[in-house]
Amino acid sequence: MRDLILMNKIKRIIHSIALLLLVVFILQGCGNKAESVTASVDKDDSKEEIQIGIAFDSFLIERWERDRDIFVSRARDLGAEVNVQNANGDVQKQKDQIKYLIDKKMDVIVIVAVDSSELKKEVEEAQDAGIKVVAYDRLVMDSPVDLYISFDNEMVGKFMADAIMAELPDGGQVMKINGPSKDNNVSLVNKGFDDEIKGHGIVVFDTYYAAEWKGEEAFNYLTENPQKADKADAVMCGNDSLAGQAVRYYSEKRRAGRIPIVGQDADLDACQRIVEGTQTMTVYKSIEQLAKRAAEAAVSLAKGNNIADAAEIENGSFEVPYVSIPPVMVTKDNIDSVIIDSGFHLREDVYLKER
Ligand code: BGC
């Protein structure tokens, strides 16, 4: 694998030297045409652009288009070409897309795993072909990925617990509506939550996993289990899309605003619910920071460098390089400074009543 990378590098160096000699030769012949010659050298170099493939789970949830746009734009600024794939939540489709990116001879493949435990073979195939692999946002288990870059997901769970405990100082019964368990972030968020509530009188009496992060699943689950829904003193939702459907359910029962409901992502409608008082908190995760750092890391890996500031995380069988970005808890109290001042959403979009 290293030999292949070395060969590619040598080829590139020979190519650059040949171009340089050509420039010197032309400059000697016609001194005043230096500018246009330099331009043509740049153009020629761009044929050697770094190729990055990025395989998304789906664009169903609001944040992912932002992830895509920022990643692609930063990678392009750094001289890379980006091939974007979307598996629409289908594991097999994602596997096929990764194989396609391997055949296309990408320098780096960035993966938002549909199923964190299902991509071991594909990662190995890519690495055998000399391609670097980055696990984006979600860890890929049991594979020696070259980098895992994400938010601190345990911290997200801790924030959710803190927000619920602040609303239920004497303890209470909590229902969890998670995303799918095949997304490794779900277990990390739950671990952070469970560790935090220990010894505070908060009891999780029911846990549900919504397939493919589908919001309607949360609504249907509550509708089909009215006794559980009634019993809950608070609902911990895996993200804002699920929280939105929980708020919808409790609005119909006239409990919205009176039952603490938490989520994550700082989706626009979640921010609107927070200022209205129907959702207790969300978690802001700077997609700008994540996507930019991931694009920079991908380009750096393509150039054969290691990621200097990476820590390490265990993914079952390996210790892999890990870059983590801190999330921020968002409530009514700090929504202006965290969400509006950062430009994540516009004030007039969040505060609909002020319009
Ligand atoms: C991410 C969340 C996102 C969810 C659904 C999770 O892995 O951590 O931010 O809402 O996937 O796309």
Identify the residue whose C-alpha is closest to ligand 1 atom 6.
185
331 CA to centre of ligand 1 in angstroms: 19
Closest CA to 126 of 151, 149, 97, 101: 101
pLDDT at 140 over 80: yes
312 CA to centre of ligand 1 in angstroms: 22
- Asked if residue 91 belongs to a domain, the reply is yes
Tell me the mean pLDDT in the region 188-203: 98
pLDDT at 16 over 90: no
Ligand 1, pocket residues at CB < 6 Å: 61, 63, 137-138, 179, 183, 185, 213, 239, 264-265
pLDDT at 7 over 50: no
Q: How confident is the model at residue 48 (pLDDT cuts 50, 70, 90)?
A: confident
- Asked if residue 333 belongs to a domain, the reply is yes
Residues 90 and 216 in one domain: no
Instruction: Calculate Rg over the CA atoms of the chain.
Output: 24
CATH code for the domain of 61: 3.40.50.2300
Residues 175 and 254 in one domain: yes
Residues 208-222 have pLDDT tens digits of 999 999 999 999 999
Mean pLDDT, the chain, integer: 90
Percent of the chain with pLDDT strictly greater than 70: 86
pTM for the whole thing?
0.86
Tell me the mean pLDDT in the region 6-14: 46
- The half-sphere exposure of 347 on its side-chain side, counting CA atoms within 13 A, is 5
Whole-number Å distance between alpha carbons of 182 and 33? 59
- Asked if residue 21 belongs to a domain, the reply is no
Q: How confident is the model at residue 262 (pLDDT cuts 50, 70, 90)?
A: very high
Identify the residue whose C-alpha is closest to ligand 1 atom 3.
239
Residues 181 and 243 in one domain: yes
Identify the residue whose C-alpha is closest to ligand 1 atom 9.
265
Residues 221 and 340 in one domain: yes
- Asked if residue 58 belongs to a domain, the reply is yes
At residue 314, the pLDDT reads 95
- Asked if residue 29 belongs to a domain, the reply is no
Atom index in ligand 1 nearest the CA of residue 240 equals: 10
- Asked if residue 33 belongs to a domain, the reply is no
Residues 275 and 335 in one domain: yes
Q: How confident is the model at residue 353 (pLDDT cuts 50, 70, 90)?
A: confident
Residues 159-176 have pLDDT tens digits of 999 999 999 999 999 999
pLDDT at 105 over 80: yes
pLDDT at 6 over 70: no
pLDDT at 70 over 90: yes
Residues 308 and 279 in one domain: no
Helix 240-252 with 268-276: angle, nearest 10 deg: 40
Question: Six-digit token pair at 214?
Answer: 């589908």
Residues 325-346 have pLDDT tens digits of 999 999 999 999 999 999 999 9
Helix 215-224 with 240-252: angle, nearest 10 deg: 40
Whole-number Å distance between alpha carbons of 159 and 305? 35
Residues 184 and 264 in one domain: yes
Atom index in ligand 1 nearest the CA of residue 151 equals: 8
160 CA to centre of ligand 1 in angstroms: 15
Residues 136 and 230 in one domain: no
Mutate to test the pocket of ligand 1, among 60, 61, 154, 344 (most ligand atoms within 8 A of CB): 61
pLDDT at 143 over 90: yes
Identify the residue whose C-alpha is closest to ligand 1 atom 12.
61
The 10 Å CB-count burial string (b at 16+, else e) for 250-278 is beeeebbbebbbbbbbbbbbbbbbbbeeb
| Domain total in the chain | 2
Tell me the mean pLDDT in the region 175-189: 97
- Asked if residue 278 belongs to a domain, the reply is yes
Tell me the mean pLDDT in the region 124-149: 98
pLDDT at 34 over 50: no
Mutate to test the pocket of ligand 1, among 56, 57, 115, 137 (most ligand atoms within 8 A of CB): 137
At residue 355, the pLDDT reads 63
Q: Name the strand (E) or helix (H) holding 96.
A: helix 91-103
- Asked if residue 188 belongs to a domain, the reply is yes
pLDDT at 233 over 50: yes
pLDDT at 139 over 90: yes
At residue 308, the pLDDT reads 87
Atom index in ligand 1 nearest the CA of residue 57 equals: 12
DSSP code for 256: B
Tell me the mean pLDDT in the region 267-288: 98
Atom index in ligand 1 nearest the CA of residue 239 equals: 10
Residues 66 and 170 in one domain: no
pLDDT at 96 over 50: yes
257 CA to centre of ligand 1 in angstroms: 24
Residues 64 and 88 in one domain: yes
Percent of the chain with pLDDT strictly greater than 90: 85
Tell me the mean pLDDT in the region 86-104: 98
By residue range, what is the domain housing residue 292? 48-145+287-325
Residues 274 and 315 in one domain: no
Residues 222 and 141 in one domain: no
